[in-house]
Amino acid sequence: MRPTRLWKTLYRIPTLQATQQIWRQELREDWELSHGFLIATPELATWMFASDGVTLCDIVKHADGRFVCVNRQHGETAEVDRQDLIVYRLNLRTIATLLLEQLGGRIDFAQHEVSSPVYRLGRLRSRFAAARLYLCIRSCRASLLDAAMSIRGSTPVVLLVPMLFGTDTNVDLIEEQTGVTIFAADELFHHHDGRITANPVAMEELRHRLGCLDASQANTFRLSGDSRSIRYAKQEITLSETVGLWYLSQLLAQPFVQVNAVELEAARTGTTTRSSNSPTGEMLDEEARRAYQQRIAELDEDIAIAEKNNDVGVLDKLNAEKQQIIAGIRRATGLHGKSRVTTDESKSRKNIRQEMQRAIRRIAKSHPALAKHLNHAFKGNWLCYQPDEDPMWEF
């Protein structure tokens, strides 16, 4: 297990936008590990390195669309593939998704403020005090202090930085001033067996610094056999599983998401209702699904040929058709990938509401605080869980 060069690159050049040639030089032995975090921009490079990796070449575009690199030192020219001139940048959202998967938590990615080096990544699980997680791509003292001051609050906050080794920043002083826990990403996430994984020792250190070594702090809503084991606010109860508890588990797992009543009911029963759209009542039956998949496969082949021929016009048209098909499939499918069906949605909403209310009445007998929390969190909308403070349920 060793640190990955991804963090060193982000530390050295936090806003690097460059061709794959330069990214390869930066990431070196970690290219295969990290290149999936790159995303293409609309920009094309205006210069590149010669084959020696040192001499600079200017890029000239000819009237016929060809690109040529001109060696600044010797004046030699060589034709360049347009693909090699595409400028890439780090996709911080993809990185955030990986980090939250490793630590356990819910992604909520956004730049903290316009032109800010700080990004909100999401929320960690209860085992990390349900702390809000941020990333600051600059590690200098001024940037870290400004970042910590801007994100501090009444709830625990963790601020990741690419690296701290070699800096003269007094992290302890900033933490004391702001209450924000600052941690180096290159210590927390390492390269192991060909992938980036969380370092268990560093994870325990982070938990210790957050003051949450007691695992019983986690809020859980787990199904175990025919029973539902529920822990909230350090009180645990066990109830026999019911339809209402199942509905609650689905909604608690998706806070602030409006769930479709028909899809939720269909996901539980595994049945669909007839409609005029298909013999099975589905908006997208198996025959239509297969036809879409076949057309996407054909488009992928045509796209590969167009990319090889550098035919931008055809490429745009093919990509547009592919995206149109994908959008149509998404509109026709719902929860767990099931095809949407037509039925009486108001009836489904009523069924779900009654089952959930019945379940909450059962919970109230042994855990009044949780029942109060649930009644308040649904706020009259029984298809969207909206807690004032997300308990970060574990299932």
Full pLDDT tens readout for the chain, 395 residues: 566 788 888 888 888 899 998 999 888 888 888 888 999 999 999 998 887 778 899 999 988 889 999 998 888 888 999 999 999 999 999 999 989 988 888 888 998 888 889 999 998 887 888 899 999 998 888 889 999 999 998 889 999 999 888 777 889 999 999 999 999 999 998 877 778 888 888 988 998 888 875 555 678 888 988 899 999 888 899 999 999 999 999 999 888 888 888 888 888 877 655 433 344 445 556 666 777 788 788 888 888 888 887 777 788 788 888 887 887 777 666 655 665 555 567 788 888 989 999 999 999 999 999 999 999 888 778 888 888 877 878 88
Strands 157-161 and 181-184 turn out to be: parallel
Confidence at residue 280, expressed as pLDDT on a 0 to 100 scale: 44
Q: Is the pTM above the cut of 0.75?
A: no
Confidence at residue 337, expressed as pLDDT on a 0 to 100 scale: 61
Confidence at residue 271, expressed as pLDDT on a 0 to 100 scale: 62
**Letter for the amino acid at 262?**
V
> What CA–CA distance (Å, rounded) separates 191 from 193?
7
Order of all β-strands in the sheet with 235-240: 220-224, 227-232, 235-240
Selection from 145, 176, 383 nearest residue 264 by Cα: 383
Confidence at residue 274, expressed as pLDDT on a 0 to 100 scale: 42
Confidence at residue 334, expressed as pLDDT on a 0 to 100 scale: 60
- The string over 236-258, giving b where at least 16 C-beta atoms fall within 10 Å of a residue's C-beta and e elsewhere, is eeebeeebbbbbbbbbbeebeee
